[in-house]
Amino acid sequence: MSVIGPDFISLQVNNLEDSAAFYQNYLGLIRSQAGPPHAVVFETKPIAFALRDLIPGTELTLGTQPGLGVALWLYAPDTQEIHDKLFAAGVKITSAPIDGPFGRTFTFVDPDGYLITLHSKP
């Protein structure tokens, strides 16, 4: 037996509806009808991506940033357009767009403090 690879990614968030609206409005993610009431699952491929309410006892503000040490990269062919929209809205950009082996790439901070990197080349 062996693990094939990642199959599902979920972030715990402080306010499910606010965070879901952020990902819908700024990244263009589409809500799936699937999922439990304590989560929002998006129609992403090939790996499912979701946001969920905090698990009891979880406090996102205790450390320097949630998910410290984990790199979450999402593919977006229109990375520069998304960057410009986030920047105009005052979203914190931690790495400005650059062109590299993964295409146009930049990193921003989501409403819960997670660092999210977008790249334009699959």
Beta strands 93-100 and 39-42: pairing type? unpaired
The pLDDT tens digits of the residues spanning 66-107 come to: 888 889 999 999 999 999 999 999 999 999 999 999 999 999
- Count other Cβ atoms within 10 Å, centred on residue 65: 15
b/e code 14-46 from CB counts within 10 Å (16+ = b): bebeebbebbeebbebeeeeebeeebbbbebee
pLDDT digits (tens, 9 = 90+) for 35-52: 899 999 999 999 999 999
